[in-house]
């Protein structure tokens, strides 16, 4: 029964409808508890002086991601410019906006674009997995640091737990900077995978993907430092963007609170249970900010402003994708016309 439910959930059409229904249900329930007229008044009174730099920095962060990814292309034999990768990231943002699950939808779109450009599907998957893990670990590190520095959470026992988790995140970075750590992970991984009932395709492709991931060990130490530094910088800037958005709707929180709340929201939005995080983000933000005395209307206003940045980025990515599709169609028609012309010329000469 569980397998049947999972198969239904994985069906693209059914899954999309169920996730859309889930988002609609959550938003409907919220509308019964919150005065949306007040929420709209909050949005109308948003301070543009904070919104403009927040939107600019939103795109700066994605440009940093693009440059970060470009540093990992060399070991895989792939070549893409930073502007091209920036475009791919925005297009992935568009698909994250219209398809279920930010992580799955955006990752799939990015993989398709990268593999089509280079014809290296395994390497493109390895690149995305590598940077997804690095950036997620950095996200966790920033969030845990924010929790540790948040005065409201500053109990000795809680700080001890957070400190242990932070050390765990730091240790999780070791396979990305140490060959010895990578070899140890490989040995443990092989022992575990041998005992798991995996599909034959996964058993066949797994070692290939792992080999591609290990190729990142060829990066020199300085490049690794830059990659990790860019990951940290992107999350710090994203935290500042979140901070500016809260100020825009008159929410005043410590930057440490903003740091860990943003990290929690990002992790919740990874769950493929809604469309573009709708519903999940709103409920999470209302619950997380309630302990800080933030009214539900302001928390929802903050959520909608955050969603607006995602929508703007998605629209620009959608325009890029539409341009690529139209240009690809023109190229296809031109190729067919040229082939027909060549065939006609060859036919004319063959009659002579």
Note the pLDDT tens digit of each residue in 224-266: 889 889 999 999 999 999 999 999 988 999 999 999 999 988 8
pLDDT at 314: 86
Angstrom distance (rounded) from CA 75 to CA 120: 13
pLDDT at 119: 65
Question: Which has the minimum average pLDDT: 52-66, 161-175, 230-244, 316-330?
Answer: 316-330
Rounded to 5 degrees, what are φ and ψ at 100? -70, 135
Q: How far is CA 141 from the centre of its chain?
A: 16
pLDDT at 261: 92
Query: Which of 48-62, 104-118, 120-134 has the highest mean predicted lDDT (pLDDT)?
Result: 48-62
Rounded to whole angstroms, what are the CA distances from 133 to 56, 93, 193?
A: 26, 18, 19
Residue pointed to by tokens 């590190």: 141
pLDDT at 52: 92
Angstrom distance (rounded) from CA 289 to CA 258: 10
Residue range of the domain that includes 223: 2-350
pLDDT at 266: 87
pLDDT value at 319 more than 70: yes
Angstrom distance (rounded) from CA 163 to CA 165: 5
pLDDT at 10: 54
* 103 vs 140 pLDDT, higher one: 140
Mean pLDDT over 27-32 rounds to 66
* 135 vs 3 pLDDT, higher one: 135
% helix, strand, coil for the chain, step of 5: 85, 0, 15
pLDDT at 157: 85
Domain count, the chain: 1
Give the angle 156-159-163 at the CA atoms, nearest 5°: 135
Nearest to residue 58, comparing CAs of 184, 242, 214?
242
> Using 50, 70 and 90 to split pLDDT, how confident is the model at 340?
very low
Question: Which has the minimum average pLDDT: 80-84, 148-152, 210-214?
Answer: 210-214
pLDDT at 92: 85
Longest dimension (CA), the chain: 94
* β-sheet bridge partners, residue 100: 275
Angstrom distance (rounded) from CA 261 to CA 269: 12
Residue pointed to by tokens 């949306």: 36
Report residue 75 as tokens.
Answer: 């070991």
Q: Are 84 and 225 in contact (CB under 8 A)?
A: no
- 269-318 pLDDT tens trace: 877 777 767 778 888 888 888 888 898 888 888 888 888 888 888 889 88
């Amino acid at each position: 029964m569980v397998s049947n439910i999972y198969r239904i959930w994985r069906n693209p059409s059914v899954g999309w409808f169920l996730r859309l229904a889930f988002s609609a249900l959550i938003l409907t329930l919220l509308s019964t508890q919150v005065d949306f007229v007040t929420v709209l008044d909050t949005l109308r009174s948003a301070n543009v002086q904070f919104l403009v730099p927040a939107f600019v920095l939103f795109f700066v962060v994605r440009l940093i991601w693009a440059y970060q990814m470009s540093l990992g292309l060399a070991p895989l034999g792939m070549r893409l410019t930073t502007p091209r990768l920036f475009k791919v990231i925005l297009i992935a943002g568009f698909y994250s906006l219209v398809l279920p699950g930010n992580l799955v939808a955006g990752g799939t779109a990015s993989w398709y674009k990268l593999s089509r450009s280079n014809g290296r599907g395994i390497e493109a998957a390895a690149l995305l997995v590598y940077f997804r893990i690095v950036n997620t670990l950095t996200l966790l590190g920033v969030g845990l640091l924010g929790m540790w520095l948040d005065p409201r959470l500053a109990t000795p026992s809680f700080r001890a737990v957070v400190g242990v988790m932070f050390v765990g995140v730091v240790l999780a970075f070791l396979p990305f900077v140490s060959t010895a750590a990578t070899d140890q992970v490989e040995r443990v991984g092989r022992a575990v995978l041998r005992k798991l009932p995996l599909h034959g395709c996964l058993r066949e492709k797994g070692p290939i993907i792992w080999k591609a991931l290990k190729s990142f060990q060829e990066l020199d130490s300085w490049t690794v430092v830059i990659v990790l530094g860019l990951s940290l910088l992107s999350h710090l800037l994203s935290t500042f963007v979140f901070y500016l958005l809260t100020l825009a709707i008159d929410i005043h929180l410590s930057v440490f609170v903003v740091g860990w709340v943003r990290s929690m929201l990002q992790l919740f939005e990874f769950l493929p249970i809604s469309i573009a995080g709708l519903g999940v983000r709103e409920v999470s933000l209302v619950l997380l900010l309630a302990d800080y005395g933030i009214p539900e209307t302001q928390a929802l206003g903050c959520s909608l402003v955050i969603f607006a940045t995602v929508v703007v980025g998605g629209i620009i990515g959608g325009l890029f994708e539409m341009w690529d599709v139209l240009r690809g169609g023109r190229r296809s028609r031109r190729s067919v016309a040229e082939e027909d012309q060549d065939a006609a010329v060859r036919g004319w000469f063959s009659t002579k």
